[in-house]
Structure 1
């Protein structure tokens, strides 16, 4: 009997130890609020001389326990910078003044993601200097580091209602910016926490037959293990499907690392935010790529309390899964895109001459061209977004509020990009579009006083 009691006591201690060490349960105080916004493409301080509509947004940001954005620029003083613009960059050279650090803090930002395609526009030196500025201003950041272990690790923010972990990764990144760990005598590589994707182009079966004939006619082709539903041509994989489009396969090793880092982060925190920076299938698309919904569900099942997608520069739908918000894209928050200076490679890419043309003229040419389509980044859809405010009760999402914002698309180049609360007609248009984008996920968004609202009833058990 005494041995049985001893065994029961030992088992109880072991169970308690697992609860303390292995649990990924959410544990925030009621009323915990998370503000999540999209890309911070910002070159200068925003709070100096701001108008009342921007001031109203700042009040929303500062009222939350956690205020998150995607840091899609590097921060340093070009006059003392020791690095250089990279030959491989994220489509543009993003740079901001050091004064941005304290300005972000004034706005209310206390946690930001760093894994994106612009993190190493100015090399490892730019990445490190940005980390220094953020650290100096007490802004927690994740997603970039001296090796993959550091880039992938959760970073932590202490709040009055609980400790918050952030895991940041990018499915869109420049190949040379991917962080890696050391192997044997080979040292580690600094960079971003990357999720590699294998891209497949989906075509109707009759098109696949034409592609096979082209492949077979090319010199040097040798057939090995023919797959009737798949063709590899000039390094691109095509597969048969009902309609033309894109399909993605995630790297299993990268996913395993991300899931483990979520578990690690949640085991030492009360709440976990996971963010993904991805442009797939393209900035033209209002729908997320085919892999993303199942991935977001897996991440939440592993312990994430919110999944925040950003990258395509426009809004995508919202899903509520197991009492947790999934934002497939929160669009842009600031697009103050006065890039200066920019590298010579970008001048050349747009047919400009740095001895004749200006940085602004190159930037305007880049925005007009757009990505993968004739929908340029000057299109009004990229200047409309929302500020999301998620409120949690009983450790589940109880209410989601969506404040429509506009970034001044019609303003002159030097003045556009700063967010302001949208006017009532524009606010309704933004929210009605978001309602349609969210219908496939059965998310019901009501519009109340020009604010989108999603209400949920928390379950009776935490």
Structure 2
């Protein structure tokens, strides 16, 4: 049995146009994914509804139900909805998305119209092999759901996650965690300090594989007690975000690189791992081997940062103080001059300067 894991899937804006034009930017990758028994991804962008958008969330993502049909082309079997954009298009948009998934036999987890549904694991039985998928969203990714929100997400709580893992292991399941986390280092190359610590706890509780999402960048992988941990797969596909008359640029190289981990199950409750490196080139997803070399270097540096705290401090200083300014100089901003951008580093970047 082979299972492929995709990073953040956002069929927003330009992907809607491609679909309307009858073009398929995923044709090459779909051929490879067709050889897998299951394809699982993080569906970051939900269908637009008829009742507006959740104004408190910025930026917001949306696509059309028709454009979601790309998921079928990619042979997607299941998606996680435990993320910070699940309520962008209110209950109506959420329900339209769920309806599409159910009609096309695509399973989902991590969110629902009740707390029980949101917290429900996805359990699979494949030729006698039991697999349990658990999905959670960390508060540092800013889910921003109001108290009376009709859509629920499965919130990240390390103690509860460990209990869930032990419960699934007691049932003889292989346990796979899908985690939306690392919000304080969104756009960064390396995970937050708590992530390797929590990953070790989850592996110790019995997790067999950890797949991370949210940062939009490809972050390191490592093996803990022989189990694979991917801190963030980055974006599988993401177009520039058109939002309230502005454009959020997603064309930077860091946002266009990812890997697809492919797990091959063995009969003795073990698995082997293959990595498919990919790149988004003008919205088309293609294989790109240099991405894998970058990831291996990044993973090596992550291990050195864990050994030598000073290295991590240098990285954190660069992320908080240098990168926000550099981004303002180099980004393709459609609505502000360079002087205005540098003068008024937007609120998000100002906050990042003082985050601990």
TM-score by length of 2: 0.74
Q: How far off is 1:441 after superposition? A: 6.5
Mapped partners of 1:273, 1:287: distance in 2: 21
Question: Is 1:192 matched up with 2:183?
Answer: no
Q: How has the CA–CA distance of structure 1 residues 173 and 282 changed in structure 2, closer, same or farther, with 3 Å as cutoff? A: closer
Q: Which residue of 2 aligns with 1:55?
A: 27
Q: How has the CA–CA distance of structure 1 residues 160 and 258 changed in structure 2, closer, same or farther, with 3 Å as cutoff? A: same
Q: C-alpha offsets along residues 56-95 of structure 1, whole Å, 9 cap, x if unaligned?
A: 421222222321110101125x5xx2x2211211x32211
Q: C-alpha offsets along residues 256-293 of structure 1, whole Å, 9 cap, x if unaligned?
A: 22223333444556322211112433223211000111
Secondary structure, aligned partner of 2:52: coil
Match for residue 321 of structure 1 among 224, 242, 245:
224
Question: Is 1:431 matched up with 2:292?
Answer: yes
Mapped partners of 1:264, 1:125: distance in 2: 34
Mapped partners of 2:171, 2:283: distance in 1: 37
Mapped partners of 1:154, 1:291: distance in 2: 24
Question: Is 1:154 matched up with 2:121?
Answer: yes
Q: Which residue of 1 aligns with 2:11?
A: 42
Q: How far off is 1:113 after superposition? A: 0.8
Q: How has the CA–CA distance of structure 1 residues 66 and 442 changed in structure 2, closer, same or farther, with 3 Å as cutoff? A: farther
Residues 75 and 133 in structure 1, CA contact (< 8 A), matched pair in contact too? no
Mapped partners of 1:292, 1:154: distance in 2: 21
Residues 54 and 88 in structure 2, CA contact (< 8 A), matched pair in contact too? yes
Question: Is 1:418 matched up with 2:284?
Answer: yes
Q: Which protein has the larger Cα radius of gyration, Structure 1 or Structure 2? A: 1
Mapped partners of 2:24, 2:128: distance in 1: 30
Gaps of 5+ in 1: 1-31, 181-186, 196-253, 340-345, 353-361, 368-376, 409-415, 444-462
Secondary structure, aligned partner of 2:218: coil
Q: Which residue of 1 aligns with 2:55?
A: 87
Match for residue 114 of structure 1 among 73, 77, 81:
81
Match for residue 90 of structure 2 among 119, 123, 126:
123
Residues 217 and 257 in structure 2, CA contact (< 8 A), matched pair in contact too? yes
Residues 144 and 150 in structure 1, CA contact (< 8 A), matched pair in contact too? yes
Q: C-alpha offsets along residues 229-266 of structure 1, whole Å, 9 cap, x if unaligned?
A: xxxxxxxxxxxxxxxxxxxxxxxxx2222223333444
Q: How has the CA–CA distance of structure 1 residues 283 and 324 changed in structure 2, closer, same or farther, with 3 Å as cutoff? A: same
Coordinate RMSD, CA, aligned = 2.7
Residues 154 and 264 in structure 1, CA contact (< 8 A), matched pair in contact too? no
Mapped partners of 1:176, 1:330: distance in 2: 23
Q: How has the CA–CA distance of structure 1 residues 438 and 315 changed in structure 2, closer, same or farther, with 3 Å as cutoff? A: same
Between Structure 1 and Structure 2, the one with more helix by share is 2
Q: Which residue of 1 aligns with 2:270?
A: 396
Residues 319 and 438 in structure 1, CA contact (< 8 A), matched pair in contact too? yes
Q: How has the CA–CA distance of structure 1 residues 34 and 442 changed in structure 2, closer, same or farther, with 3 Å as cutoff? A: farther
State the aligned residue count: 297
Question: Is 1:278 matched up with 2:181?
Answer: yes
Mapped partners of 1:306, 1:331: distance in 2: 17
